[in-house]
Structure formats: C-alpha cells, structure tokens
Amino acid sequence: MMKAQNLAADQTFLASLYEHTRYAFQPIVNAHTGTIYGYEALLRGHRDMGLETIQDVFDTAFSLGVLHQADLYLRELALSMFSKLHKAATKRLFYNLDGRCFESPDYHPEGTRGILKKYKIPASAFCLELSERHDNHNAVHVTELLDRYRQQSVRIAIDDYGMGFSQLHMLYEHQPDYLKIDRFFIDGVATDNKKALMISTIVKMAHMLGITVIAEGVENEADFLTCKNMGCDLVQGYLVERPLLDMTQLQEVYDQVQLINEGDRRRKKQKDDLNLVREHVEKLPTVRESESMEKVLEIFGGKADLSLLPVIDHSGYPRGIIQEKDLKSIIYNRFGHALLTNKALGNPQDRFIRKCPIAEVSSSIDEILEIYAQARNPEGILVVDEFRYLGFLSAQSLLHMVYEKRLEQARDQNPLTKLPGNHSISDHVAACLAAPKPESNIFVYFDFNDFKPFNDYYGFRQGDRAILLFAEIMQRHLTDPGIFLGHVGGDDFFAAFAQTDLEEVRRRVQGVLNSFANDIESFYEATDRERGYIETTGRDGETRQFPMLSCAAALIALPPVADALDHDRLVKAIAVLKKRAKAAPEKIAMELMTPRDH
C-alpha cells in the first residue's frame, strides 16, 4: 500500500512538473564588449506547482527519489529552448545541476549525450553549474561523474562561489572551467574594500588555474566597473538584462555595457596597452580538441620551430596547450606513433593538454603580467579576443612589452621626481571632464610661494632638493587608491581625488602643506631660520625680504554630471583660485564648480 502511495506521489509530482515548469534565460556577456557569451537557464513555474521556492522543486524530487528523472526532463526542456536561439552552437548554456542527482535512486548515466545529439548542440556549449550551497564534496561519486562529463567535453562551473562548502577543495577536485562569484560579494563591491580584496584574490587564483570568472548579480555601473577592472571575464545581472521568458527579446550585444566601457577606456587609456598587446601576439597555429593526434603530429612535423600548439574548442576558445616535448617520449617509442593515432583507443589529446594562463586582449599590460606571474612555470599566455583564440604571448614578448611601456612612461615622467608629467596630467583631467560619474572629482593644484628667491639665494641644487622634498611628502600623505599624483613642472604639482568629501580632501591637503612648511626649515641656514626670512633680489630687481618657503593649494570640485564644464573654463577658474590661495592665511582656497548654463 505504502509503495503504491509513493508511486502515485511520484507520478503526481512529475505530471505537475511537466505541466507547469518553463525556463527564463538570463544573458551572460563579455565584460569588455557586452557581446553575448551565453545564458543561464532559470527555472520558473514552481508556484504553479504549489511550491514556495525553486529549491523546493528539487528537494521534493529528491525526497520522492525521482530527482534524476526530473532533472533529465528539465535539462531537455532547457536545451530544446536553447537550440532555437540564433547561432546557439556558438554560445553557452549554463544549467543548474543539483549534485544530489548522482545520489538519487533513479540515477543512470549517459542521458545528456542523447539530448545534446537530438538538438544538435555541441557538448562544449553545455555547462553544468554545480552550486556550493550543497555539500557536493561529500557526495559519493561526484568527482568521478564530473570527470566523465568533462571527457565528453561538457563544461563545468562552480556557482555561488564563496557561500558554501569546501570552496578551495571544490576548485582542486572538480577543476571547473568557470567560477561564478556569489552576488553577495558583487553587491556594493565598488564601495566595500573587504569585498574588493576577496574578489581580487578569487580572480587572481582562478586565472592562475585557467578558469574563466563570472560576476553574478551585477546591478549597477560602479560594481560592474570594479568587477571588470579586477579581472572578471563575464558578467550577469540586471545591469545587463533580467531573466526573460520571451526569447525574442534576447540580444546579441548589450549596448549599455559598451557605453560604460567606452567611458572607462577613456579614463584608463587602455587603447595604448591594447595596441601593444596586439603588436606582440604571435599567431601560432591551433588544433581543435575534436581533431585527432594525427593532426597534432602533422602540425608539429610541418613546423620545425614550433614548440607548443594551442588547443581550441568548437567556438574557438582555448582549452590549453600541447607541448612538443611531452610527445617526444612517446613518439620515439617503438609503438608510440601507433598508440597515439589508434582511433580504437579514443582521442588521447586530453592526456597532453596543459593548462595555460588566459588573458583578454583588452586587459592592461599590468593585468596580463600579474596573470603570468601568478601561474606556475607558464610557457606564456594565451590571448583571446571576444573569447576566441587570438594568439600567444611568450615570456620574451612580455619582456618586450614591459620595456616598451616603461620607455613610453619615462618619456612623460618628470626626470627629477619621477612623477607623471604634464601630458599624463592633461590626459587625466580631460578624461574626468569627458566622462559622467556618480560622484565628483576634486583637483588640487599646488604652487610654491616665493620659490625663485629661494632658488636664487641657495642655488639650484638646494632648489631641486626642496622640490624632491615636496614630492616625497605628497606621496607619503596621499597614497590611497583613487588618487592621481603628478608633477606639472618646476614648483607646480597636481593631485586628483575621486571622491566627494571636499572637507576631507582639504584636511589632507592641509597636512601636506603643514608638513612641507615644517620640514623645509632645515634647508635654511641657522641665521635665516632665526629671523624667519631671507634677503635677496626679487623679480622686480629690488632687494627685499622673503618669508620662509611655503606652498599654496587651489582645490576645485567638479560637479557629478556629464558635460559640466570645459577645459578653458577650468583653466580660468584655477588661475583665479591660485591667487586666492596665495593670499589666504592657511594658503588654501576652494571652489565647487557649478554646471554650465544651457
């Protein structure tokens, strides 16, 4: 009787599942371009089944012993919908897998392969998301079964990373292709240093292991830029698009991401790095993961100077590299060539594919170098453009890039203080004026008082020492992220603050001025210090007394709106403010710029 009741409950549940469930697709896009990369299939219709949450669907199925049967139905539903999308085979479908499927009494292998074949979807376009919210680490046979999926070229992602069980152990055991950072860490990361530190650490570790990172739950521009600038490869969230039941509303490119990035690129001058990377990328030949070892040997045999071969999947994304040295020990074996090319033994490519660090071509050189440095004995870096293989950067190419970038930076570096020079300052100011922001920027222009008399009286060497002293004080007091420091030339310096608290900036600038006024006294002879002035010729040719060297600061806060003021207006405002600062008792003058009248 009890068995019959259970069977009836099973069938009732499954019938309700078949009748009510459907999927909404949420886009996952390239963080640098907004181009669609794939979709996460998100279950809908649970309330029509009389269940409160989506998790209740899977909990009920598991308790009834039909979780795998339910999962196979949902898997086919998601893949059938996915197959109808434009060029579906070139994209990815991220499907949430409940790890308890492998423990369900109705589990049987090989179901996925038939579904993929039915809808003509390559296995590498299908990605199983394994949530950290379940203790998959302790589930029996999970690692073995995921390895089987991987052998079939199905991709693996760890979802909700940072919120669940045995996080590092999962990375080690399951060797995922993707890592999705939990939305808890993404929300508010732009203003939360602890979250930023955690995400940055996760991204570096993932890239070192050759794992693609997805920022999940991105809802605003500030968090998006923070995630992108820390190296997240893909983004998903309401900023891009909500989950959609109507598949016709899905787009190939999301313009809002492009527009945000255009402003960010102007500010960071990424174009120079991009050109340098493209210039040094080596276009090595590739082999597809589906091709035979005969093809691999043919390519190596045709190029005597080729030491490694990038392996790409169906969409052109690199899986790793095959190194010629790894093949030699087998090739030179008596039966080695026959073993490698024997189709009855399957495709042995996987045995020779080595993980290799991967970087997007739009990444800055510093980001690429960091990825390279974090990897273990890398041969170089695989470079992708729009998640398609572009080329390879060897260690020698990286050294050349660093040298050329440092040379370019040195051209605009002040030779005395080594701070960014006038060109870099102008670019920074122009970028701030051109790009709209949710907060204001504060510019500070420093100018010494009576520097020429000091320089004439004590000589150029002592004058240079005074300039170096101020540069060191400025760097000591103003070291936070978001502060840009520059040396305009002579006794003129510049600082830019990306924050809105004008009084806080004033306090810190006052600290710089006070420290300089105190430390510069040691540059004077004892008699001059005692009387508090020097007596020398001024600009007018007349001899008179000049007080101890000091510095004035003009603070200008830009309004947090686009197109608020132009460069000419800013220059005029600075000239007026500098005069006010020199005449002020504390040597500081401030002004909040107002938007231009239209």
Whole-number percent of the chain with pLDDT over 70? 83
**pTM confidence score:** 0.54
* Cα(73)–Cα(10) distance, integer angstroms: 14
Lowest mean pLDDT among 83-87, 172-176, 555-559: 172-176
Average pLDDT of the chain is 84
pLDDT in tens, 274-290: 788 888 999 999 999 88
Query: Residue range 428-439: average pLDDT?
Result: 64
pLDDT band (50, 70, 90) for residue 273: confident
CB 152 within 8 A of CB 123: yes
Query: Residue range 379-391: average pLDDT?
Result: 93
More confident of the two residues 327 and 588:
588
pLDDT in tens, 2-51: 444 555 778 889 999 999 999 999 999 988 878 899 999 999 999 999 99
Instruction: Give the residue from 485, 510, 511 showing the smallest Cα distance to 497.
Output: 485
Residue 168 clears pLDDT 80, i.e. is over it: no
Domains contained in the chain, CATH given: 21-268 (3.20.20.450), 280-404 (3.10.580.10), 418-592 (3.30.70.270)
CB 39 within 8 A of CB 91: yes
Residue 339: per-residue pLDDT: 60
More confident of the two residues 566 and 338:
338
pLDDT in tens, 547-564: 999 999 999 988 765 444
Residue 321: per-residue pLDDT: 94
* Cα(228)–Cα(215) distance, integer angstroms: 9
pLDDT in tens, 450-482: 998 999 899 989 999 999 999 999 999 998 777
pLDDT in tens, 390-423: 999 999 999 988 888 777 666 667 888 989 887 6
β-strand 212-216 against 234-236: which pairing, if any? parallel
Residue 449 clears pLDDT 90, i.e. is over it: yes
Residue 454: per-residue pLDDT: 94
* Cα(50)–Cα(462) distance, integer angstroms: 83
CB 63 within 8 A of CB 249: no
Query: Residue range 164-190: average pLDDT?
Result: 79
User: What is the chain's alpha carbon radius of gyration, rounded to the nearest angstrom?
Assistant: 31
